[in-house]
A and B are shown apart, each in its own frame.
Chain A
Amino acid sequence: MRLAAFDEMQPEQSGLRHSYAAYDRWLKQQDPARLTEKMRDAERVFRKTGITFAVYGEAEAAERLIPFDIVPRILSGSEWRRLTQGIEQRVQALNAFLDDIYHRQEILRAGRVPKRLVAENVAFLPEMIGVRPPAGVYTHIIGVDIVRTGENEFFVLEDNARTPSGVSYMLENRETMMQLFPELFQQVRVRPVENYPQLLRQSLAAVRPESVRTTPTIAVLTPGSYNSAYFEHAFLADQMGVELVEGHDLRVVDGHVAMRTTEGYKQIDVLYRRVDDAFLDPLTFNPDSALGVPGIMDVYRAGNITIANAPGTGISDDKAIYSYMPEIIEFYTGRKAILGNIRTWRCSEPDSLKYVQENLHDLVVKEVHGSGGYGMLVGPAATKAERETFSKKIAANPSNYIAQPTLSLSTCPIMTEAGLAPRHVDLRPFVLVSDRIQIVPGGLTRVALKEGSLVVNSSQGGGTKDTWVLDD
């Protein structure tokens, strides 16, 4: 099935879009051979600096590059303003929802979100009930996945409110583009993204425990150098000028979390953790975890450390909860959602289940707790046999699945040997929440490199692009 997609550079009917005009002028002056050479340069830069990611289960290609495309994805200032309004509203609602869910649960009492959806959800942590995190912020760092289907049609595909990754690619992609094409940035006014690490540091410092009066000690907690996102953990710690710690560097000393240094144990006030909830504290959660810190939850409950993002934020970006986001936003902000959701069928509901089973060939079906493009079915691209197998999986456990229409994601051209060619893209802007909400003008554009493919995940052959927000 071929979907007629909206191309962000050159839609079929209307010709070159204004936001790409300056870039297009520059591009027309370039020698194609030189651009091909630049493509190779880009790969060398990434390989040399070790910007790689690990793919689980692939011993040979233990470290792979995420392919980088040299054509930027460009958003106009006004498109960006509209997006940020929608994102801010959404992020406010996510934090209000989390506060409510772990305290009074008014939204459940009001019947706007079914009780069982929260109570029976593995992402809901009873340990967090009644706990108020420092500064009242639950989800500090959010990556909102946005897709576009037309000139004015933006939708939120997913809220990543746990430990969203990819921000290092946003920064390195820009760095690479500026190295490859310095003159281009003189001709086109692009808003900068490189202050993200400073903003992140300020943002984390602003949500330190109340008892910490001086400059807080901040650390990034990584599962270790075997983790697929280790490069990003090291990169962020480095750029922020804070320590990169692993679970076995930490222990609880005198009611505080402390790290083992060459001079003894030193207190940590804010922990930007990139370890999942289940592994955070073997005394509270998964007892087999070697990645966390025994007793950290007690320190947290006593208000002696900020954990970013707070444990239990997963309940807000759960795919089953997602379908209630329009209600959630209205409930807490009193306004309609500026950014729409994608229509979602919950297989837990008999009518929806029936519809999904009858229309599998048109739908994308996802596991409620899945991520990274694993465990999903893209109906139109699947074979009949694949659809039948998946149908049985859904029937066996309906509440584990949701379905969405196959969207005709917008396209943006990539550079190929044969010149520009359109490929489907999505967008993940990064949001920081402290006493304010900040969104760096840009984000991570993921691109499906295979012609016609809609799966943009890096683990499934997706690439990335530099994302420009014009200063216009």
Chain B
Amino acid sequence: MLLGRVANGLYWMNRYIERAENMARLVDAGLRMALTRTQGAEDEWKSVLLSAGADVGFSAKYAEYTVGAVSDFLIRDTSNPSSSMSSMETARFNARMVRTALTRETWEAINEAWMALKRMLAKPIDERDLPQVLDAIKRETALIRGCFYGTMLRNEIFDFAQIGTYVERADNTARILDVKYYVLLPSVSWVGSTLDNYQWESILRSVSAHRSYRWVYDAEYRPTNIADYLILNGRMPRSLTFCYRFLAEHLHFREQDYGLRLPCHDTVECTLAKLKVGSIKQIFDAGLHEFLTDFIRDNYRLGDEVAKDYRFH
């Protein structure tokens, strides 16, 4: 038995924890580009903001794309509802609301992460400290995840929270790909130029996959392999397929337990089926951008349907 309001709180709690971390990861990848390259840094920050869905909010506030401005906006600025700080604030608010559904360890990890971020981000970030700040955010969210996985019973509470995690993560990965889909198109170049190499590495870095990529594919970055890794590889924890396997599993548990099949079950299976193509080539042939746009829309719809089907409101 789970209150609809509590299911909603769990879902958003985990979405925002995921988001707080994703922001740090995006800024980290952008920072890397800015450090290693003298030109094109501005474009890189633009795509970071675009991937974060924060481009409009940013340009309303700033005219120039600098490390300081972008990192402040994406990490610290509470007027940006998706900044790491705002996300942590919202995650903690939701956690507080659903506190009775959480283990003490999980609640304390969230509460402490919130306190740590509040302390750390009280003053503007000194650029020299930015890498440590980003690390700290990733560490705090990893601690939450550890407590969550380590102590939570695998029941409906766990399912609804995890559905939030994977909807958010799938959205994030799809956006990163879509913002840069053009550098992945085979028509640009099969043998990557230096510029492309940077771009490709940046994509992998945004999903913390630049090292593991090499364990799976050649040492050399190839756009088809990168797309394959982030879309179709079922073992890569931030790939679309990985997210959807788990989404399907958690929703399947709900279907079984409650003995009720609902529209969200059709949607998740339909999206998962689209990911079960033979090779990445088929997706490229049909159009990568179109594929990603459809995916983002379907993913959004899934979140909406879960909320309706399970009486979140």
Which of A50, A237, A259 is the most central at the interface, judged by chain B CB atoms within 10 Å of its CB?
A50
Contact between A260 and B311, CB atoms less than 8 A apart: yes
Asked if A234 lies at the interface with its beta carbon under 8 angstroms from chain B, I say yes
Contact of B111 among A48, A246, A248 (CB under 8 A): A48
Residues of A within 8 A of B160 (CB): 262
12 contacts between A and B (CB under 8 A): A48-B111, A49-B108, A234-B96, A234-B100, A243-B1, A244-B99, A245-B3, A249-B3, A249-B5, A261-B4, A262-B254, A264-B311
Contact between B2 and A262, CB atoms less than 8 A apart: yes
Contact of A225 among B2, B3, B93, B115 (CB under 8 A): B93
Bound CA span A260–B307, Å = 13
Q: A225-B96, A245-B3, A246-B5 are in contact. Are A262 and B111 (CB under 8 A)?
A: no
Residues of B within 8 A of A266 (CB): 1
Contact between B108 and A261, CB atoms less than 8 A apart: no
Asked if A388 lies at the interface with its beta carbon under 8 angstroms from chain B, I say no
Contact between B107 and A50, CB atoms less than 8 A apart: yes
| Residues 91 to 114 of chain B near chain A (Cβ within 8 Å) | 93, 96-97, 99-100, 104, 107-108, 111-112
- Shortest Cβ gap from A350 to chain B (Å): 52
- Shortest Cβ gap from B265 to chain A (Å): 14
Which residue numbers of A lie inside 8 Å of B, CB to CB?
Answer: 47-50, 225, 230, 234, 237-238, 243-246, 248-249, 259-264, 266
Give the nearest-CB partner of A244 in chain B.
B100
Q: A246-B5, A260-B311 are in contact. Are A234 and B104 (CB under 8 A)?
A: no
Q: A47-B115, A264-B311 are in contact. Are A238 and B1 (CB under 8 A)?
A: no
Contact between A237 and B100, CB atoms less than 8 A apart: yes
Contact between B5 and A260, CB atoms less than 8 A apart: yes
Which of B3, B104, B260 is the most central at the interface, judged by chain A CB atoms within 10 Å of its CB?
B3
Contact of A248 among B5, B108, B112, B310 (CB under 8 A): B5
Bound CA span A245–B3, Å = 8
Bound CA span A249–B93, Å = 18
Residues of B within 8 A of A261 (CB): 1-4, 311
Asked if B7 lies at the interface with its beta carbon under 8 angstroms from chain A, I say yes
What count of chain B residues pass the 8 Å CB interface test? 24
- Shortest Cβ gap from B75 to chain A (Å): 22
Which residue numbers of B lie inside 8 Å of A, CB to CB?
Answer: 1-5, 7, 93, 96-97, 99-100, 104, 107-108, 111-112, 115, 156, 160, 254, 258, 260, 310-311
Contact between B311 and A238, CB atoms less than 8 A apart: no
Bound CA span A249–B100, Å = 15
Bound CA span A238–B98, Å = 10
Bound CA span A158–B4, Å = 39
Residues of A within 8 A of B97 (CB): 225
Contact between B108 and A262, CB atoms less than 8 A apart: no
Given contacts A243-B100, A260-B311, 15 further A-B contacts (CB under 8 A): A50-B96, A50-B99, A50-B107, A50-B108, A230-B96, A237-B100, A243-B1, A243-B3, A244-B100, A248-B5, A260-B3, A262-B2, A262-B160, A263-B2, A263-B258
- Shortest Cβ gap from A250 to chain B (Å): 10
Contact of A262 among B107, B115, B311 (CB under 8 A): B311
Residues of A within 8 A of B1 (CB): 243, 261, 263, 266
Residues of B within 8 A of A230 (CB): 96
Bound CA span A230–B93, Å = 12
Bound CA span A249–B96, Å = 17
Give the nearest-CB partner of A262 in chain B.
B310
Residues of B within 8 A of A248 (CB): 5
Residues of B within 8 A of A237 (CB): 100
Q: A260-B3, A262-B2, A262-B160 are in contact. Are A48 and B311 (CB under 8 A)?
A: no
Contact of A50 among B2, B4, B111, B254 (CB under 8 A): B111
Bound CA span A249–B111, Å = 25
- Shortest Cβ gap from B259 to chain A (Å): 9
Residues of A within 8 A of B5 (CB): 246, 248-249, 260
Bound CA span A264–B260, Å = 11
Residues of A within 8 A of B100 (CB): 234, 237-238, 243-244
Bound CA span A264–B115, Å = 36
Contact between B112 and A262, CB atoms less than 8 A apart: no
Which of A237, A244, A248 is the most central at the interface, judged by chain B CB atoms within 10 Å of its CB?
A244
- Shortest Cβ gap from B14 to chain A (Å): 16
Contact of B3 among A49, A234, A259 (CB under 8 A): A259
Q: A49-B108, A225-B93 are in contact. Are A238 and B310 (CB under 8 A)?
A: no
Contact between A238 and B99, CB atoms less than 8 A apart: yes
Contact of B108 among A48, A243, A244, A249 (CB under 8 A): A48
Residues of A within 8 A of B115 (CB): 47
Bound CA span A177–B266, Å = 53
Which of B96, B100, B111, B311 is the most central at the interface, judged by chain A CB atoms within 10 Å of its CB?
B100
Bound CA span A249–B2, Å = 11
- Shortest Cβ gap from B183 to chain A (Å): 42
Bound CA span A263–B156, Å = 11
Residues of B within 8 A of A49 (CB): 104, 107-108, 111
Contact between A260 and B4, CB atoms less than 8 A apart: yes
Contact between B7 and A262, CB atoms less than 8 A apart: yes
Bound CA span A149–B108, Å = 41
Give the nearest-CB partner of A238 in chain B.
B100
- Shortest Cβ gap from B313 to chain A (Å): 9
- Shortest Cβ gap from A237 to chain B (Å): 5
Give the nearest-CB partner of B8 in chain A.
A262
Question: Which 10 A/B pairs are nearest by Cβ-Cβ distance?
Answer: A262-B310, A238-B100, A260-B4, A234-B99, A262-B2, A244-B100, A237-B100, A50-B111, A225-B97, A262-B7
Residues of A within 8 A of B99 (CB): 50, 234, 238, 244
Give the nearest-CB partner of B258 in chain A.
A263
Contact between A249 and B107, CB atoms less than 8 A apart: no
- Shortest Cβ gap from A61 to chain B (Å): 13
Residues of A within 8 A of B93 (CB): 225
Residues of A within 8 A of B3 (CB): 243, 245, 249, 259-262
Bound CA span A246–B8, Å = 14
Residues of A within 8 A of B254 (CB): 262
Bound CA span A237–B3, Å = 13
